[in-house]
Structure 1
Amino acid sequence: MRRVVSLFLPNWPVERLRRLLGADAPPPDRALVLTGRLGRRRVVTACNSTAAACGARVGMAATQAQALIPDLDVKDADPVGDADALDRLALWAMHRYAPVCQADPPDGLAIDITGAAHLKGGEAALLRDLTARLQRVGVTGRGVVAPTYGAAHAAARFRTEVQIIGDDGVDAALAPLPLEALRLPADLPAGLRRMGFERIGDIAHRPRAPLQLRFGAELGRRLDQAYGRSTEPLIPVEAPETPRVERVFAEPIGAPETIARYAGVLVETLCGLLETRGLGARRLDWLCYRVDNRIEDVRVGLAQPVRDIRRLTRLLTDKIETIEPGFGIERMTLAASAAEPLNWRPGAARLGAKAEPDVSLLVDTLANRIGADRLYRLAPVESDVPERSIRKVAPLAAPTGLAWTPDWPRPARLFRRPEPIETMALLPDNPPTHFTWRGVRRRIRRADGPERIFGEWGRRDAELWAVRDYFQVEDDAGERFWLFRAGDGEDASTGSQAWFIHGRFG
């Protein structure tokens, strides 16, 4: 089933202006309105929350707003600049989240995340990441995921408590919303209210013919789009500098082997274009336009710049099973939405140098199956605290030049958080004689330690006197564990003296 995100930016013109002005922007608590021309009148086109709280509203005469709010900051609106910035934001969202992203002026984006949400940890995680990144740069956004763009658009603007609408939850989500949520012409909701209709649920399941006869076809079209009875295609935003190739078919195609053959043709053409520019692809977006105006998209990421025809074709054809051709595909496009300079030839190596194994194909295959965020290496960090001494890096990232100290071995499996255990030990320096972990009592046969690790006082005051004493222990079954005591065994200010397990060897 299709899954679409509608991102609503309620304060887009004002927040864009504040980012544009930078240090010269007025204080956030000062009332600010943007004004533009409506015929011969000068009206408010946008206002910040302070101005709205003082009574300003969109559509109000600018002179009325100035009379209503003392010391009102009035600036000219720039709808063309707002639209251009929205297109740039759509390009950013396309590069980061999904290949089909459309600007929805004047205050939103539409993103088709069908088959792409798992790469960000699911729909809820994708929404959190999207809104959090915007919030960090001063842009307020609210997103909703739904099976149709009409439903997502309505809920994002009129239901603040809803984030995800299931495939069978469209009717329940739309029924209580006002008629304006259907994106109807301005005069149509007023006409419907004169007939006694207040909410979408009042008209959603009524006979269509009388409504169409009185109000025209637009009402039925918007209802069908919102409920998924008719398609509403999204037109992906395109950057003019992106390497892109296209194939249009005289007759729609649908057989998997035919789709695979033309995927290879597109890859070959795109690689030729990349070669003329000296580039290699880091990400491919393959869009298949169906005859029913729906777009099937495939995104492939690469660990390093590539323009190997066979390799790119294989990565694309591995995902053919995710494409639903429907009644046929009439057009295909393939774009290198991320490309980087490529100044080497595959297989080329310095004379006499030992060839290094190339695992980038394996990395690309796994990353496109399970998600690039789930594939990583662990690199050392300069820290004595075990959980802070590692970090995740890209699979093919360059060496950091750091290494873990060999003085004390570390467990193969370090727990994300230390888990408490019940044990007994002779303080201050003796290892435990036994411990109980997850309901299982284990008798310790051998032990080595303690290894004392001090807190990093530069991070926070609570670690100024903190101490951990670590022991490597082995039980009767031959399993080895990494235990520690919080504190030095004597002074209560160094820790709680409680025992924890932090990892397992082997």
Structure 2
Amino acid sequence: MFDGMNRRIVCMWFPRLASNRVLRACPIDGAFALVARQGNAERLHCLNAQAERAGLHRGMGLADARAFCPDLISRPATPEADARFLATLRRWAIRWCPWVGIEGADGLVLDVTGAAHLWGGEAAMLADMRARAARAGLDLRLGLGATRGAAWARAHCGTPDQPLDSLPVTALRLDGDTCTALERMGLRRIGDLAGAPRAPLARRFGPELLLRLDQALGRQDEPITPAPEPPHYGVRLTLSEPVGLLADAMAATERLLGALCAKLQAQNAGARRLVLTLFRVDRASQQVELRLAAPLRAPERILPLFERGLAEVDAGFGIDQIRLEATLVEPLPAQQTGLGATPQHVDRLTDLITRIGARIGLENVQRFLPADSHIPERSFLIVPAAYSAPESGWRGSPPRPLRLFPPEPITVTGSAPPARFHWRRMELHAARATGPERIAPEWWLADEGWRSGVRDYWRIDTRQGRRLWLFHTPQNPGWYVQGEFA
């Protein structure tokens, strides 16, 4: 009645988006619901059809839901995963038209103006949407109209072609209190509201009510803003003649790197993983993967790292196409090149880690980092060097031995540092003893080796040249060697 314009908008509403996402990966035969914490209570966030038929509804307390349906299967809701799934559906919906936007947390809006004839008309296009959604295991409700508001109203409160004036006022995307007040005034449908005087409505309910009404009727424009496509970090080069020499492949890779690094620089990003795919004339292909120790976008630093992998490629009868893609990208803001710039030795270290990691794996090139603990065994971490940054110094002033090993008992009596003792079949004589340093166990952590109590550590310099780290346990008298200084 109200929307006879030429513009055509489709609203795709997925009423069970969150539960559909979970059940697609792990089907469950029975009542199922996702649960979200609201305040101090756990409430139902999204249900499947079986749970709704059992009398459950959104916002219901989990305890009450289990009383109604003891066989209810629940999982915690993850809104972040639902948002990623909706973004995936937005890309899926581009098959029907190029102008697709996000509608709330569980819907899409499509501007199909001029595109319906490609599917045999609007009815055939809507039928195709329903069929594809059903095959994907998604519950879908559709609305079609000349405005975004009209399409939303029909998807949520009616049928795709239901007259707009017959729909309830809840179809205007108003809050619950406003809809309740309008119904008490006798304005239950959009047709009733459209025929009512506007000035009293504006004074009582504010401009939001009339704005939503005008958007649905086409009196106020409501644009559809599609989400921007993520940048694609990939380039391709087709060669006029097949090549098979390493020098030719390196030259082609250099051209691709220049174009790819320009894309990375425009986005203030750097590549952490690169995949070079070489297509041969016999339609076979080979890949050279390069994982970098730090995000990079400097072609002159990346190109030499490809040489080893390209040397192992079997060119066959020749390579006629090359594709380079950055499959893992991280932020890399612009850096100062003058005073205060990053030292060159840091870049050289990164390149060295990358070269070694290409042979043995980046995870196997490791570094030591200090840890916030006074327990010797917990005072350091061993982490991959490619995924961590070096720290300037170790916390704490007491010196620690370069070598640490599990405590090895020695036969000594008394609490004073031993003047002579046997260790590893050697007889050692103490020349100087420095200490003690008492270390207590960290009571909040369970450690079998430290439950015996405190330890008094001594640094013993022997006449034989050994510089050992010994400790004594007062609560259970005994002496142990745990480390050796350089």
Alignment TM-score, normalising by the size of structure 1: 0.47
Bigger radius of gyration, 1 or 2?
2
Alignment TM-score, normalising by the size of structure 2: 0.48
